[in-house]
Amino acid sequence: MSEMAATRLAQRPQLSEEVADHVRTRIMSGEVRPGDFIRLDETAAALGVSVTPVREALLTLRGEGLVDLVPRRGYLVSPMSRRDVEDIFWLQAELSRRIVDRAITRFDEAALGQHARLVEEFEAAAAAGDPDRVVSAQYALHRSINRASRSDKLSRFLNNAARYMPYRLYADDPAWRADALIDNRRMLEALRTGDVETAHAVIDAEFSNGADLLIAHLQRAGVWDEDRDGDGVTDGDDNRVESITSTPLIHGPV
> CB–CB of 63/100 below 8 Å?
no
Q: Is the pLDDT of residue 227 over 70?
A: no
Q: Where are the beta strands (DSSP E) in the chain?
A: 37-38, 67-70, 74-77
Cα–Cα distance, 68 to 45 (Å, whole number): 21
Q: Do 153 and 30 share a structural domain? A: no
Quote the pTM value: 0.79
Q: Is the pLDDT of residue 219 over 50?
A: yes
Mean pLDDT, rounded, of the chain: 85
CA distances from 181 to 24, 46, 60, 115 (A): 27, 35, 34, 14
Q: Do 214 and 95 share a structural domain? A: yes
pLDDT digits (tens, 9 = 90+) for 51-97: 999 999 999 999 999 999 998 889 999 999 999 999 999 999 999 99
Q: Do 213 and 176 share a structural domain? A: yes
Report the percentage of the chain scoring pLDDT > 90: 77
Domain assignment of residue 251, yes or no: no
Q: Do 229 and 139 share a structural domain? A: no
What is the 8-class DSSP label of residue 232?
-
What is the 8-class DSSP label of residue 72?
T
Residue 14 confidence class, pLDDT cut points 50, 70, 90:
confident
pLDDT at 169: 92
Cα–Cα distance, 248 to 229 (Å, whole number): 24
Residue 117 belongs to a domain with what CATH number? 1.20.120.530
Cα separation of the two ends of the chain? 30
| 207-233 mean pLDDT | 77
pLDDT digits (tens, 9 = 90+) for 157-196: 999 999 899 998 999 999 999 999 999 999 999 999 999 9
Domain assignment of residue 7, yes or no: no
Q: Do 89 and 213 share a structural domain? A: yes
pLDDT at 190: 98
Q: Which domain holds residue 37?
A: 15-80+223-246
